[in-house]
Structure 1
């Protein structure tokens, strides 16, 4: 069974990040097969698993052990051999990030701005951070707290609408997947 089919059957704990938003993250950062990445706020592990498909190493942090256990199980089931690229840690990025010279750090947290000093110290020069923010007030807090440490690369919202094509009948689907989050991409300066 392929990755996307397996994804529909994963165990859920916290809300999962959708593929539409993961695609935005992958296409708006400079990660590649040699990249080392930290995913903070592992949740159910969906972003962690997607990252592991494309990079060399993923460190997945969550301060809630029950979520980390769900993420571990999901990544093992989704990835098989690529799950060996992931190191899971029951840690809090607000307190400390041990890894250094990381290429990318993703933050799916309530108060992203509180982690920015630790994120800065863990990233390599020109490293990137992506903040997944359900609320615009979170974006404002991030921008207000980046000081001279980060440059805003992009602030995005991805709204998805499918289309129906049946012969000469062409129309948008009646349902649309609207706002899920704002995606803030920052670069260390």
Structure 2
């Protein structure tokens, strides 16, 4: 049986057309000028192409970026790739690591963590709202390459079950309320990453980290500006995402 990871395809076409689809079940896939049968699409090798009414489309494998940004169903704000990659570097995420996360939300960053820690690693993720938990569970299974995610439908304010985690990532409304629980869960010198949308949340979180015995390594905001893909008229796109979140990174001190 193919995994959700292996059944996703990206279709690209003229004028910036892009569509991520699942070819695991029979269905008709709509295109700007027609459609293609999913079984027919599944037989096209990645890098190959097909034609519909004179228009050529190309087929690619689906990478993590395209799944998260163009396919994953979301009912919550997600950790965007521009933050996600930096977070994983700052938390020293690598194959075999054991990482905690709260809240799961729609599961976008959980998918990234799962691939990063690999088959020998583990991701323990907490989401207290049942509707988000069920959505995240579906999204994670839809792109899982490894069976390494353990999900909890509870708030970490009620306690974190795991101990001696290498790192923990917090994406919750009031992170300062649960810093003590996170401290119990991560190993000495373990990494902690937190994302919040407002500066007053940064202030409260920093105060809690200092009081709970953490070394604050960095507070940072990451900006990204895209360019129009026209070589002869290269310039920035007219619109950009001005703000997504502030990142706070810390290390656990002492025992």
Q: Answer yes or no: same fold by TM over 0.5.
A: yes
2:135 maps to 70
Q: 1:1-189 maps to which residues of 2 (within 5 A)?
A: 1=9, 2=62, 3-7=64-68, 8-55=70-117, 56-79=121-144, 81-82=145-146, 84-146=147-209, 147=211, 149-164=213-228, 166-189=230-253
- How many residue pairs get aligned? The number is 187
Aligned residues of 1:159 and 1:179 also touching (Cα < 8 A): yes
Aligned residues of 1:14 and 1:43 also touching (Cα < 8 A): yes
Aligned residues of 1:64 and 1:90 also touching (Cα < 8 A): yes
Superposed CA offset, 1:146-169 (max 9, x none)? 225101111111111012364453
Separation of aligned partners in 2, 1:173 and 1:21: 20
- Tell which structure's C-alpha radius of gyration is larger: 2
Superposed CA offset, 1:99-133 (max 9, x none)? 00001111111110111111111100111111110
- Greater shift, 41-50 or 140-149, is seen at 140-149
Q: CA distance change for structure 1 residues 118 and 73 in 2, over 3 Å: closer, same or farther? A: same
Structure 1 position 4, deviation (Å): 2.9
Separation of aligned partners in 1, 2:238 and 2:231: 18
- Greater shift, 144-153 or 67-76, is seen at 144-153
Superposed CA offset, 1:58-86 (max 9, x none)? 0110111111111110000022x32x100
Aligned residues of 1:104 and 1:129 also touching (Cα < 8 A): yes
- Structure with the larger RCO, 1 or 2 (CA within 8 Å, 6+ apart): 1
Separation of aligned partners in 2, 1:39 and 1:165: 36
- Greater shift, 8-17 or 135-144, is seen at 8-17
RMSD: 1.4
